[in-house]
Each structure stands twice: as structure tokens, then as C-alpha cells.
């Protein structure tokens, strides 16, 4: 049973929504993971938090829209995925809630312990989703135990397969590098130089991990009954782009480096969805039990109405988010005098 044009359109659109989420929330997560690594004083930690403070919650809208689009366009995919990944997704939800609360409550107290504890929440609230999202998409590609009714017949340990763990490590490292490059564009002075030093250390490790992930993904796609065909140019480009970040950082071309990691994230997401096609979930029990696009989709009328709504409102959402980034485009600078605790924004990006 082949997917119709509307079904394929919504499969691609959901992939685009996830790519947008990983691109935008990816550097948010990276900044959160770098918080205890780069910032030593409270002023420095506040500078890192302020770099994403105006936009982090808007970036999470992409996740909500991706989940809502999946629910409406592919209800069987939504129900199967959320029931199979119930515990991991619940952990992600707790991490995101804790992270959001930490951003709001960190400045409500003055004691060092108060701020240190909320900084830990921000760190783990960034690290945990970064890793688990990769694990979840790795499981989608590798396959999980599903029976003929699409019911998950395994347990949590079945989700922690080696390929999925490698996928989780890959998303974590890519987001970490993406976040460091974002900070290189938002910070000034000595704090920026600390970030640059971290970029030079993170970039080679990220390149190695990504190469391993893309190579294993190719083997998985060829050996596990996948019929999706990924043009070799896409994963190869993702690797070469990330591999070039080290050189760009040495040349202090941080804007290009950030753009490159963003394009790499888009290429990695495209690789995942093209490997899945024409399925949305792979069954490790039997290829016949895998959930295809056509089988998981809503009725044509529903997809038709959704398409009209999406075409009308999507440009407004994109325009609003672009305007938000334009308004908060300035760099974060630390106070020049000791004893001053304020953090200001100075020159434009």
C-alpha cells in the first residue's frame, strides 16, 4: 500500500518540524550543558542563561507543533510511539518542565546553594532530552518489538540497544557543539574565549561520533529490511560540514561554523526520516508488523483540511519567530568593573 501525496506531504512536514526543533532547541540544550563547564562565576552563568532567555520557550513550540501534527496526521503512529516510549518521553517531559522552572526561579533567591541547585536542573534538563531524543529516533530506525496490532511487547531495556545509544550520544555532542557556536556569537571578551577553547575540544569528538553514527546507520538501513533510500550526498555532507567546524573555529569564522552545524542537524534529521520511509516505525519482531505511512495516516479529508490550515498559518508563525530573534540579536557582555553584577547587551550580531 503506497502513500498518497497528502500522506507523503505530512510525513515530510513532520520531518521539517523536527528538524526545526533540533536546530533551534539544539543550541538551547547546548548552552544548558555548557553552563557548569564554561561559566565559573554567577555573573558568567547569568550571561549564558541570558543568551537564550528570550527565545528558549519559543523554540519549544516546534516540539508541540510536531507532536500535534503527528497526532492529527498519523494517529496510529502517535499512539504507538507514545505508548512504546512512554517512560522515556515522561522523563523528557520532567526534564523540560524542570528546565523551564529553573530559568524562572533561579533569580528568585540570593544564596549560592539556591542558584547552584537550579543550575544543576538546567544542566540535566538540557542533557537528558538531548540524549533521549537521539535514543528514541535511533529506536525508530533500528526497530522495537511490535506485534501485529502495533502494541509494544518489550520493556525499557529493549529501547537501550547499542545503535540507539550511539544515536543519543550523537545528538548530545552535536547539540553541545551547536550551543557552543551559538555562544561564540552571543558573548564577548574572556567568556567568549573560554567558549572558543571548548569549541576546539568538542568539534573533533563530535566529528568522530557523527561519522560512527552515519556509518552504522547505513549498515542498519541495509541490513534490517529498510526500503528507504537515502542519497549518499546527504549523510556525507552532514559529516563533512561538521568536520569543517574545527577549521572554521580556528579561523574565527563563528557565524559560518554555527550555520554549518545547523545545516548538519537538518541533514541528520533528513537522513533519519529518509531511512524510515516508507515506514514510520520499524518492528524488530517482523517486518510485516512495521507501521507504514499509509497504514498510520488519517483520512484524506482530515489531511486536506490540515494542509489548508498549515499553509495559512505557518508563514505567520515563522515571521513572528524571525522577528523575535531580530529583536534580541545583540551580544551579551559582562560588566567591565569588578563588583558589578549586572549583565548587559551591547553590539549587534
Helix (H, G, I), strand (E, B) or coil at 160: coil
Do 7 and 297 touch, CB atoms closer than 8 A?
yes
CA 69 to CA 329: how far, in whole Å? 30
Among residues 26, 317, 42, 28, the alpha carbon closest in space to that of 186 is found at: 28
Q: How much is the average pLDDT of 41-54?
A: 86
pLDDT band for position 341 (50/70/90)? Answer: very low
Residue partners of 105: CB distance under 8 A and separation at least 6 = 118
CA 110 to CA 35: how far, in whole Å? 18
pLDDT of the residue at 342: 47
Position 347 pLDDT exceeds 60: no
Backbone angles phi, psi at 331, to 5 degrees: -80, 160
Reduce the secondary structure of 71-101 to three states and give it as a string: HHHCHHHHHHHHHHCHHHHHHHHHHHHHHHH
Beta bridge partners of 152: 146
CA 326 to CA 316: how far, in whole Å? 15
Phi-psi sector, 337: left (phi>0), alpha (psi -120 to 50), beta = beta
Beta bridge partners of 114: none
Position 260 pLDDT exceeds 50: yes
Please state, for a pLDDT cut of 90, what percent of the chain lies above it.
36
Identify the CATH homologous superfamily for domain 5-329+343-348: Formate dehydrogenase/DMSO reductase domain (1.20.1630.10)
CA 189 to chain centre: 28
Position 330 pLDDT exceeds 90: no
Q: Give 86-103 pLDDT, tens digit per residue.
A: 899 999 999 999 999 998
Position 202 pLDDT exceeds 90: yes
Position 37 pLDDT exceeds 70: yes
Q: Give 209-251 pLDDT, tens digit per residue.
A: 999 998 888 887 766 555 556 666 787 888 888 888 889 988 8
What are the boundaries of each domain within the chain? Answer: 5-329+343-348
Residue partners of 272: CB distance under 8 A and separation at least 6 = 15, 137, 140, 141, 217
Q: How much is the average pLDDT of 8-26?
A: 92
Amino acid at each position: 500500500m503506497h502513500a498518497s501525496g497528502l500522506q507523503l506531504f505530512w510525513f515530510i512536514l513532520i520531518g521539517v518540524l523536527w528538524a526545526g526543533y533540533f536546530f533551534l532547541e539544539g543550541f538551547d540544550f547546548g548552552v544548558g550543558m555548557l553552563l557548569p563547564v564554561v561559566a565559573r562565576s554567577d555573573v558568567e552563568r547569568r550571561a549564558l542563561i541570558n543568551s537564550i532567555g528570550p527565545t528558549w520557550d519559543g523554540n519549544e513550540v516546534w516540539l508541540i507543533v510536531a507532536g500535534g501534527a503527528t497526532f492529527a496526521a498519523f494517529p496510529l503512529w502517535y499512539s504507538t510511539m507514545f505508548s512504546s516510549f512512554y517512560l522515556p518521553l515522561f522523563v523528557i517531559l520532567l526534564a523540560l518542565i524542570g528546565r523551564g522552572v529553573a530559568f524562572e526561579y533561579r533569580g528568585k533567591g540570593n544564596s549560592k546553594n539556591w542558584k547552584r541547585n537550579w543550575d544543576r536542573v538546567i544542566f540535566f534538563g538540557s542533557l537528558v532530552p538531548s540524549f533521549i531524543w537521539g535514543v528514541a529516533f535511533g529506536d525508530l530506525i533500528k526497530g522495537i518489538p511490535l506485534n501485529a496490532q502495533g502494541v509494544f511487547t518489550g520493556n525499557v531495556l529493549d529501547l537501550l540497544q547499542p545503535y540507539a545509544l550511539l544515536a543519543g550520544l550523537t545528538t548530545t555532542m552535536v547539540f553541545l557543539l551547536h550551543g557552543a557556536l551559538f555562544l561564540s556569537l552571543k558573548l564577548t571578551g574572556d567568556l567568549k574565549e573560554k567558549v572558543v577553547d571548548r569549541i576546539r575540544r568538542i568539534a573533533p569528538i563530535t566529528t568522530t561520533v557523527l561519522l560512527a553514527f552515519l556509518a552504522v546507520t547505513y549498515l542498519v538501513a541495509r541490513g534490517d529490511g529498510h526500503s528507504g533510500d537515502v542519497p549518499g550526498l546527504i549523510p556525507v555532507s552532514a559529516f563533512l560540514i561538521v568536520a569543517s567546524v574545527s577549521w572554521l573555529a580556528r579561523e574565527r569564522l563563528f557565524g559560518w561554523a554555527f550555520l554549518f552545524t545547523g545545516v548538519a542537524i537538518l541533514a541528520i534529521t533528513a537522513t533519519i526520516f529518509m531511512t524510515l520511509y516508507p515506514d514510520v516505525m520499524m518492528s524488530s519482531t517482523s517486518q510485516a508488523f512495521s507501521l507504514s505511512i499509509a497504514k498510520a495516516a488519517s483520512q484524506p479529508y482530515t489531511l486536506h483540511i490540515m494542509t489548508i490550515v498549515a499553509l495559512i498559518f505557518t508563514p505567520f508563525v515563522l515571521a513572528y519567530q524571525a522577528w523575535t530573534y531580530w529583536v534580541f540579536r545583540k551580544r551579551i557582555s559582562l560588566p567591565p568593573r569588578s563588583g558589578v553584577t549586572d549583565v548587559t547587551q551591547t553590539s549587534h550580531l
